[in-house]
Amino acid sequence: MLCAAPAQAQAPDWPAEKCRRYAEAWSAATQRLGTAGLSPAFIAAHGAFIASGCRERAVCPRSTAEIAMADTMTLLALNAGMSGTFLPFICRAP
């Protein structure tokens, strides 16, 4: 009797997968909710976060619409299996 060895699972690139999921969530959220009330700086910071492979965390929500989008993105990210520490939201004092 032949016994097949179990297939070796390739280790996933979890940071890249999280970034892919976040980028998909951002795209879906902006398509569904729109970008009204989001500043060009907020949108650009998200673009930079995703372009960096989700490493450069420097998105600061300031307006009511930006805070609402940050809340939405937090829920979407957590539902997609990411931790809160993955998120790009941080506001540094000037």
Tens place of pLDDT per residue across the chain (94 aa): 555 555 555 557 888 999 999 999 999 999 999 999 999 999 999 999 999 999 999 999 999 999 999 999 999 999 988 888 889 999 987 6
Q: Which two tokens stand for residue 36?
A: 């009204």
- Which phi-psi region, left, alpha or beta, contains residue 5 (left: φ > 0; alpha: ψ -120 to 50)? beta
Query: Phi, psi (5° rounding) for residue 50?
Result: -65, -45
Q: What is the pTM of this model?
A: 0.82
Q: Which of 66, 84, 67 lies closest to 75 in space, CA to CA? A: 84
